[in-house]
């Protein structure tokens, strides 16, 4: 154990707009090799509005120091060491796409900021500052991913006893910059786009729009998956690797209509049990190449605002909602485990759908034309250009 020291710590005010009380003191820690040393602890005690005097701030600091001293020495490693250990021990337990997602977030966003910091130097203030700084360049969804990744690492550190708590908990998520607006495709858009493409891209577009399947699931289909009961979705191809589908609820059997079955079988051409959507060499299509070289150029020529493959999945969810399908039915077709995902993320309203809904209400309320004898005249005058000002 380190030798006993009596200290009062240091407090000071910080912040340009919102003034806060910050504090520093030293504490005994164990490094990764088990050697004892002293490090500085930095914390935010609270705002000046909450703690009006230096005396009150010092009293709060004394309580924190007493609690910290009673816990005994802690292991103190750098964030970079934590990231290395987490990737060595936890990433292998995750699915390859998920592991790759976290690996990219750690390398691109977390290590450049926290790499040289000790875990004891990372508090809720530092995490919030990190998220707020990133919010000037990234969307809210991107910020959420950063917070989740950082929380996974610090949560594991807490489970290992290297820190007292996961300081990511309770941090607020900034709004971020506006994200990309998902294209709201109409059925006519999909029909026109499919007609402008050659096979197998034409059938692929129609298949994704009718079934709502993920592009990775579609490219993982073999002709043997097309059985009498329907089409079995049990594998996917992600980053060139064959894998199981995303979740347990994603494994499903779709009752494919006869026309869709005929379209799929038309791509067979004596290939036996090969990949349904494949290149001339018989290998599965590469989604990025297919989108960049064939689908997006055709969409651009037609003036269709297509962002990516997932637009077709969102389109089916929106069409289903306008047709009055139950959310549970739509979720089962899309392979969602939670209906809220279908409703909150995938279902969008369209102008045509809103117009039809309002037309139905208008026809119902205005069916008695005797009560509204001026409606035809007003409707006719509304189509005429306005002349002068009416007082």
Which regions of the chain carry the CATH code 1.10.150?
A: 79-159
Mean pLDDT (the chain) is: 83
The token pair that represents 306 in the structure block: 């297509």
Could you give the 3-state DSSP secondary structure of residue 72? coil
Residue 63 confidence (pLDDT) above 70: yes
Closest to 56 measured CA to CA, from 21, 92, 91, 8: 21
Which regions of the chain carry the CATH code 1.10.443.10?
A: 187-346
> Which of 132-141, 221-230, 332-341, 365-374 is predicted least confidently?
365-374
pLDDT band at 83 (very low <50, low <70, confident <90, very high): very high
Q: What is the mean pLDDT of residues 47-67?
A: 85
Q: What is the pLDDT of residue 383?
A: 52
pLDDT band at 32 (very low <50, low <70, confident <90, very high): low
Which of left, alpha, beta for 102 (phi over 0: left; psi -120 to 50: alpha)? alpha
Q: What is the mean pLDDT of residues 29-47?
A: 72
Contact present, 21 and 64 (Cβ < 8 Å):
no
DSSP output for 275-294: BSSB-TTSSBPPHHHHIIII
Sequence-ordered list of residues with C-beta below 8 angstroms from that of 324, at least 6 positions apart, any chain: none
- Domain 79-159: give its CATH code: 1.10.150
Residue 168 confidence (pLDDT) above 90: yes
Element (H, E) at 267: none
- Give per-residue pLDDT as tens, 276-319: 999 998 999 999 999 999 999 999 999 998 989 999 988 888 88
> Which of 51-55, 72-76, 154-158, 234-238 is predicted least confidently?
72-76
Could you tell me which CATH class the domain 187-346 is placed in? mainly alpha
Q: What is the pLDDT of residue 86?
A: 96
Kindly tell me the burial class for residue 6, based on how many C-beta atoms sit within 10 Å of its own C-beta (0-12, 13-18, 19 or more).
exposed
Q: Would you state the torsion angle of the CA atoms of residues 83, 87, 89, 93, taken in this order, to the nearest 10 degrees?
A: 140
- Give per-residue pLDDT as tens, 193-227: 999 999 999 999 999 999 889 999 999 999 999 98
Kindly tell me the burial class for residue 61, based on how many C-beta atoms sit within 10 Å of its own C-beta (0-12, 13-18, 19 or more).
buried
Q: What is the pLDDT of residue 386?
A: 47
Alpha helices in the chain (DSSP H): 54-71, 79-89, 96-105, 111-114, 124-134, 140-159, 187-195, 201-211, 215-219, 258-265, 287-290, 296-302, 310-322, 327-334, 339-341, 351-365, 375-382
């Amino acid at each position: 154990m380190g030798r006993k020291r009596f200290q009062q710590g240091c407090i000071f005010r910080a912040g340009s707009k919102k003034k806060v009380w910050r504090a520093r003191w030293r504490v005994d820690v164990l490094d990764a090799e088990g050697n004892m040393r002293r490090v500085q602890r930095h914390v935010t005690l609270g705002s000046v509005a909450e703690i009006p005097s230096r005396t009150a701030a010092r009293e709060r600091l004394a309580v924190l120091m007493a609690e910290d001293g009673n816990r005994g020495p802690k292991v103190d490693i750098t964030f970079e060491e934590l990231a290395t250990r987490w990737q060595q021990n936890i990433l292998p337990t995750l699915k390859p796409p998920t592991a790759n997602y976290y690996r990219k977030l750690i390398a691109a966003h977390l290590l450049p900021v926290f790499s040289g910091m000790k875990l004891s130097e990372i508090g809720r203030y530092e995490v919030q500052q990190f998220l707020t700084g990133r919010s000037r360049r990234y969307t809210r969804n991107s910020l959420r991913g950063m917070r989740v990744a950082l929380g996974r690492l610090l949560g594991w550190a807490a489970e290992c006893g290297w820190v007292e708590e996961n300081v990511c908990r309770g941090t607020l998520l900034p709004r971020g910059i506006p994200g990309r607006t998902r294209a709201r495709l109409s059925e006519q858009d999909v029909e026109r786009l499919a007609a402008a493409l050659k096979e197998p891209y034409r059938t692929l577009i129609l298949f994704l729009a009718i079934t709502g399947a993920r592009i990775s699931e579609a490219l993982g289909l073999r002709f043997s998956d097309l059985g009498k009961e329907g089409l079995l979705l049990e594998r996917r191809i992600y980053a060139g690797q064959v894998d199981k589908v995303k979740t347990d609820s994603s494994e499903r059997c779709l009752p494919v209509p006869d026309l869709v079955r005929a379209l799929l079988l038309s791509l067979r051409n004596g290939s036996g049990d090969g990949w349904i959507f494949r290149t001339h060499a018989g290998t599965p299509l590469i989604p990025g190449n297919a989108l960049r070289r064939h689908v997006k150029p055709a969409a651009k020529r037609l003036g269709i605002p297509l962002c990516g493959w997932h637009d077709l999945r969102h389109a089916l969810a929106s069409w289903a909602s306008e047709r009055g399908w139950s959310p549970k039915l739509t979720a089962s077709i899309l392979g969602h485990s939670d209906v809220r995902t279908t409703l909150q993320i995938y279902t969008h309203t369209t102008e045509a759908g809103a117009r039809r809904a309002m037309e139905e209400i208008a026809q119902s309320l205005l069916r008695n034309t005797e009560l509204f004898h001026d409606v035809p005249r007003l409707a006719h005058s509304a189509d005429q250009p306005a002349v002068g000002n009416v007082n």
